[in-house]
Amino acid sequence: MPKQVSSVQTLAQELAFPSTRYQGSKAKLVDWIWKQVSNLNFTTVLDAFGGTASVSYLFKTKAKKVTYNDLLQFNYNIALALIQNKNTRLGSNEVDWLLQKHSYIDYPSFIQENFSGIYFTDDENVLIDQLITNINYLDDQYKRAIAFFALCQACIIKRPYNLFHRKNLYIRLADVKRSFGNKTSWDRPLNDWFREFVKEANQAIFDNGHENIVYNMDVLAMPTNYDLVYIDPPYISSQGVVVDYLNFYHFLEGLAIYPDWKNRIDYKSKHRRFIAKNNDWTDKKKAITAFDKLFDRYQNSILVVSYRNDGIPSETELLNLMKKYKKSVHIEYYGKYQYALSTNTNTQEILLIGI
């Protein structure tokens, strides 16, 4: 029998979803989301735009059979560690090994050569080159994924704004009085953070009795046949401002494809982002057609869309679109939730549910 767990919060003492600083993560909303969907009849669920896997993890704790997907490979690796993985953890001797330099390994200096002065200090760049090389030496895919998760979190927490959208190491290093940012987090050594995040991942791992699976695909290429599909695409504000995940997190995506990173960089950009790729979900002219295709593809599943009431397409457009495919459609509102960087006080988190 799958282990039935009442809520992520109830389990907080023994099992806790790792802390996250990812844009648009629904980690703080999972209890509210669960309240809105817990009465629906479903066992299999697709988290189609999985991100940090916070919603997949919610469903995993509720004994659902979870399929996670995200277009970005670094996110896929994180979900491999937390969702598909049932009981593999990273031991403290393995963490020690990962943090050491080994004479029998030939270490590339790719980050040192290409990212000097951009995101991290020279010493940190040496350690990141070393850590990712050691991680790729691990045989077990889940141990690799846990270590990779910890490296990504350690990199994110040391970044101003927790992003890689600008060459702004200088913000971290400037000797000024600060009214923002977290200097203590920035200054704490990367290897300390790495150990801490391994602990967070180890603590979150459990078996819910199902074979939960993770994918790294474009959402429209995913298999069908899920009882419920949870849809949380990139957000486009009414002013047309897009959360472009590849641009915000390209450094982590580079770590996920380390040997091939050199072929994906746009060397004309100061912050060494990836060469841009078309994605309908981050194009305000194409997003509505993308929703239409997705609703059409999963019209036999219960559809649950996380959205905001001030996006493109609008709430009404999305509601009407879903009505093309589903008999019963309603909206739930979460009053006070705000994104970390948002200054718009009128914005509201909503769930659009089609049964």
Ligand X SMILES: C[S@@+](CC[C@H](N)C(=O)[O-])C[C@H]1O[C@@H](n2cnc3c(N)ncnc32)[C@H](O)[C@@H]1O
What are the percentages of helix, strand and coil residues in the chain, rounded to 5? 40, 10, 45
CB 234 → ligand X: shortest distance, Å? 5
Which residue, 11 or 99, has its beta carbon nearer to ligand X?
A: 11
Among candidates 50, 46, 59, 135, which has minimal Cα distance to 90? 135
Sheet holding 65-69, edge to edge: 213-215, 65-69, 44-47, 228-231, 302-308, 349-354, 329-334
CB 218 → ligand X: shortest distance, Å? 5
Which residue, 55 or 157, has its beta carbon nearer to ligand X?
A: 55
CB 354 → ligand X: shortest distance, Å? 18
Which residue, 102 or 286, has its beta carbon nearer to ligand X?
A: 286
Q: How far apart are CA 244 and CA 227, in angstroms?
A: 29
Which residue, 49 or 251, has its beta carbon nearer to ligand X?
A: 49
Backbone angles phi, psi at 334, to 5 degrees: -110, 110
Q: How far apart are CA 290 and CA 283, in angstroms?
A: 10
Nearest position to ligand X, beta carbon = 51
CB 49 → ligand X: shortest distance, Å? 3
Contact positions vs ligand X (CB under 6 A): 22, 24-27, 49-52, 54-55, 69-72, 75, 218-219, 232-234, 245, 279, 281
Which residue, 119 or 248, has its beta carbon nearer to ligand X?
A: 248
Among candidates 243, 321, 251, which has minimal Cα distance to 281? 243
Backbone angles phi, psi at 295, to 5 degrees: -65, -40
CB 307 → ligand X: shortest distance, Å? 10
